[in-house]
Amino acid sequence: MEGKQPAIGFIGLGIMGLPMAGHLLRAGYRLFVHTRTAAKAGPVLDAGGVWCETPAEVGRESELLITIVTDTPDVEAVLFGEDGAAATLARETCVVDMSTISPPATRRFAKTLLERKITLLDAPVTGGDVGARNATLTIMVGGPRAAFERVRPVLDVLGKRIVHVGPSGSGQMLKACNQILCAVNMIAVCEALTLAKRSGLDMRTAIETLGGGAGGSWALTNLGSKIAERDLEPAFMIKLIQKDLRIVQEAARELGVALPGTALSQQLFRAVEAEPDGGELGTQAMIKAIEKLAGSTDAG
């Protein structure tokens, strides 16, 4: 945004939102924040953010509103629910939703906000918690290009690759494509590392060597190393990618596209979810399902 830095409302301080809010504060933006679990706001408030009791209070203070919450109903609630932000946002305000939600719902939300002279940009991100902490996220933005250009300086604080990909809903649709790659690639990472370990190869050597070749990937380098260390703590929880994959399959069904690899990844993640607290584990915990199929008990 040109000229004076806008006051930014920020709703959602989870694994991704918390470091992103911190980057905005360090860049000098005034930040008015709300999150479902108030205790999570502590680091942001300590850094100068201002706590708001409701999304409506955030909206009242905001010249630009950023939301990054869990699911489609959560976005709808913070915008249009009781004490929702849409009722208090000024005309000509821009809302940037960085959550991963349904593309059709995004278009519906955009239409409703436009009736109030408010613009919605869907701007989901990829790059994981590492990208959020290091401000190296890829941000896929759908909506009016003029609005995108206005908020681009703010997005530049949060990510390294910021791309306008089309009209409303396009960002969410491209994020759906991204989640297919993440989920199906995880199958390959887990299968390759299970075979490597069963054959007696050193997993860390395998990851380092293969990571520089044609089969290398972000997942192999970043999550493969966690698998080697038996670290299944979440950067992104299984229950959240399962939510995303349901959105993917809904979009595919509307378009008549078969996604067999995605369906397989859902079933493997579901096998881990069936264990106590399995859905709270990171996506690399798919290794537990692959190892069980291989007759291994290494996953614990």
Using alpha carbons, select from 88, 85, 139, 80 the residue that is nearest to residue 105.
80
User: What pLDDT was estimated at residue 290?
Assistant: 98
Query: Distance between CA atoms of 63 and 246, rounded to whole angstroms?
Result: 33
User: What pLDDT was estimated at residue 43?
Assistant: 96
User: What pLDDT was estimated at residue 298?
Assistant: 61
* CA 217 to each of CA 18, 136, 164, 232, 237: distance values in angstroms, whole numbers, following the listed order: 26, 16, 24, 19, 19
User: What pLDDT was estimated at residue 6?
Assistant: 92
Structure letter (DSSP) for residue 162 = E
User: What pLDDT was estimated at residue 299?
Assistant: 45
Using alpha carbons, select from 104, 117, 245 the residue that is nearest to residue 169.
104
User: What pLDDT was estimated at residue 3?
Assistant: 55
Q: Which domains are delineated in the chain?
A: 8-167 (3.40.50.720), 173-293 (1.10.1040.10)
Structure token pair of residue 235: 């950067």
Give residue-wise pLDDT tens across range 249-289: 999 999 999 999 999 999 999 999 999 999 999 999 999 99
| β-strands 31-34, 50-51 pairing | parallel
Catalytic annotation, residues: 175
State the CB neighbour count (10 A cutoff) for residue 99.
Answer: 25
CB 59 within 8 A of CB 66: no
Low-confidence ranges of the chain (pLDDT < 50): 1, 299-300
State the CB neighbour count (10 A cutoff) for residue 101.
Answer: 26
Using alpha carbons, select from 108, 104, 272, 112 the residue that is nearest to residue 173.
104
**Residue 274 neighbours by CB under 8 Å, 6+ apart:** none
